[in-house]
Amino acid sequence: MQYILPSSLASRARNQDPLQFALYFSTFVSPANKNIDQYGLGYNLGYAKEDTPFNSIQRATSFFKILDDYIYLRMNPEYNMNQLDVSRQENFAATQDPVAESQLYNCKLLLNTFGSYAQTVVQNPVFFNPPIGKLDKLSFEWYDITGTLINNTDCEWSAVLQITESILVATPDSTIPAQSS
């Protein structure tokens, strides 16, 4: 703790006083993340990539990552249920071409503020033509915005999935030709 707590802490007279601490978001950033904007935990909490001074309160400049973030859901790739296209952040140092992936996810879940339910989903409808003969198992995988699989074994979630079956049947008033045998 000698790196985040000040040395004056050892000689303080009142144990009830709040502890002062510093957050080293620049000094201890992973070497792999040194040159990227989304550098780690500090970024996700809204802090700039710089060390904070010693203080008993550390305030982030923004909480946009917590308030305006999203995750993706991928369902049963074998049934082609993923119709949502996504674009990625361009790396103009490498190429001038846009970076995108087609039919990668089923939907995009817009996350809500901490402690609130996330209920807004952006998705494209999925039509099966030809129809699927049997749908007996559904698989769900959540991915973050970088495409990394999220381990959600400790997270409970629920969803409502609407499956509509469309059956074309000739009736006396329809224009569908009757099947002759």
C-beta separation of 70 from 45 below 8 A: no
Regarding whether 87 and 52 lie in a shared domain, the answer is: no
CA geometry: angle 99, 121, 37, nearest 5 deg: 40
CB proximity list for 132: less than 8 A, separation 6 or greater: 79
Asked if the structure places residue 167 within a domain, the reply is no
Work out how many domains the chain is built from and give that number: 2
The domain in which residue 8 lies consists of 1-63
Instruction: Give this prediction's pTM.
Output: 0.53
Tens digit of pLDDT for each residue in 28-83?
Answer: 888 887 888 777 778 877 788 889 888 888 888 775 555 567 889 999 988 888 98
C-beta separation of 96 from 81 below 8 A: no
Tens digit of pLDDT for each residue in 89-118?
Answer: 777 777 777 777 788 899 988 887 766 777
Asked if the structure places residue 5 within a domain, the reply is yes
What span, in angstroms and rounded, lies between the C-alpha atoms of 22 and 58?
Answer: 8
What span, in angstroms and rounded, lies between the C-alpha atoms of 7 and 1?
Answer: 10
What span, in angstroms and rounded, lies between the C-alpha atoms of 141 and 145?
Answer: 13
